Chains A and B, each alone.
Chain A
Amino acid sequence: MGKNSKSRIPEVLKKFEKELLADWVKEQLSTIALRRDLVKEPELRQQSADFLALLREAAQSGNLNDITAPEWASAREMLGGISRSRAVQGFTPSETATFVLSFKQPLLTRLREEIGKDPETLFDEIWAAGILLDKLGLYTMEVYQKSREEIISRQKMELLELSTPVVKLWDGILALPLIGTLDSARTQVVMESLLQRIVETGSSVAVIDITGVPAVDTLVAQHLLKTVAAARLMGADCIISGIRPQIAQTIVHLGVTLGDVVTKATLADAFMIALQRIGLAVKKNT
């Protein structure tokens, strides 16, 4: 689109900056009326003014087609910053995109006022402005989406770490209370942290408590058996405890065999066995 080199959009942006800003802020305030709690009016005004200034500057370069060009770098950066902060604040996608897209109306209104007499030029200008703002809008969404994904993956990691604590019950006895569904990735983390703690503490018995595991299917059973086998290779015995009646039923119905692994109904029973293994006993004080 060679015509864009002669576009009058930069000129309009420069000439009517103040009016455009006023119209734009008004437009945004009317559409995101519900979000006053998240963004204050002065802040919104400031953001809009800053972005409009950057937009004007970038548009002066005459390049309205390619927002990945270096002259658009600062505008992109600003937009990315707004998008990211809105993603963190909990704006919806449409509310975030509205920031750029709501600029369309004031801009088009000004363009019509300026070149209303020449329909062909007007059409070209509206076309160019539409494409530019859509691109900026899409860019906003991309950044928004990306920052949301970052948050999700970070939380996933945190959950993974939080959900696999290895606790020491006694000198030489470790317990691994499992909570939540066991998938391959989690089992890997569980297995590694358990084996690591076995080495660190020199424990010879580990109790794996599955009270918090909602369902045991063949895959989960296999994961458990792998963990037990790995611990055995290192010289530690494993006891599986916390098998609820329903779980016992499913295990049998599925035809899963836990092999020669010692299983107990409660953690307390498993703890007693573990104490026996290391040659200790609980005695009542009389």
Chain B
Amino acid sequence: MERIPILKMGHFLLVTIQVDMHDRLALTLQDDLTNQILKTGAHGVLIDISSLEVVDSFIGRMLGNMANMSRLLDAETVVVGMKPAVAITLVELGVSLKGVRTALNVEKGMELLQEPLRSKAGARGDEQQEG
């Protein structure tokens, strides 16, 4: 069965959607992703949809769902590289992905994910100095 690969990069999981998303694929991805977060203990998920040309309301909702599920499992999700046409379609469909963080490209998305980790590390460092 066709699957979308989920790669582990340090504390983060990287999902790159390179094919046309159909409903079954999206559901499988949702399953795999939640399992992988639990297994790896990842702190962040980066979903790259820069090759995604076509979306419908279902795929739009799935993106939102995946982000919310990841947050429940303590992993921040960033959706990166959405194409203008896809963005316009989603807005017209009324799917505005409220609460999902977005970035222009993978690089900026990674920065977004690393920010909270860095501040956490900083806070821990302060505590240690105090102690």
Contacts and interface: CB of A to CB of B under 8 A. Distances in A.
A199 B82 CA distance: 9
A191 B88 contact: yes
Chain A residues touching B, majority SS: helix
Contacts of A199: 83-84, 104
Contacts of B91: 226, 229-230, 233
B82 A235 contact: yes
Contacts of A192: 84, 88
Contacts of B80: 235
Contacts of A202: 104-105
A204 B104 contact: yes
B105 A233 contact: no
A203 B104 CA distance: 8
Interface in B47-87: 79-84, 86-87
A234 interface: yes
Interface residues of A, number: 18
A230 B88 contact: yes
Contacts of B102: 232-235
Given A230-B87, A231-B87, A234-B84, A198 B104 contact: yes
Contact of A233 (B90, B108, B109): B90
A236 interface: yes
Contact of B87 (A203, A204, A234): A234
A234 B104 CA distance: 6
B4 to A, nearest CB: 20
A235 B103 contact: yes
Contacts of B108: 204, 235
B96 interface: yes
A195 B88 contact: yes
B6 interface: no
Residue from A199, A203, A236 having most chain B Cβ neighbours under 10 A: A199
A236 B104 contact: yes
A246 interface: no
A210 B84 CA distance: 22
Residue from A196, A232, A233 having most chain B Cβ neighbours under 10 A: A233
Contacts of B84: 192, 195-196, 198-199, 230, 234
Interface string A230-260: 1111111000000000000000000000000
B84 to A, nearest CB: 3
15 contacts: A192-B84, A195-B87, A198-B104, A202-B105, A204-B103, A229-B91, A229-B96, A233-B79, A233-B90, A233-B91, A235-B80, A235-B82, A235-B102, A235-B103, A235-B109
Interface of A: 191-192, 195-196, 198-199, 202-204, 226, 229-236
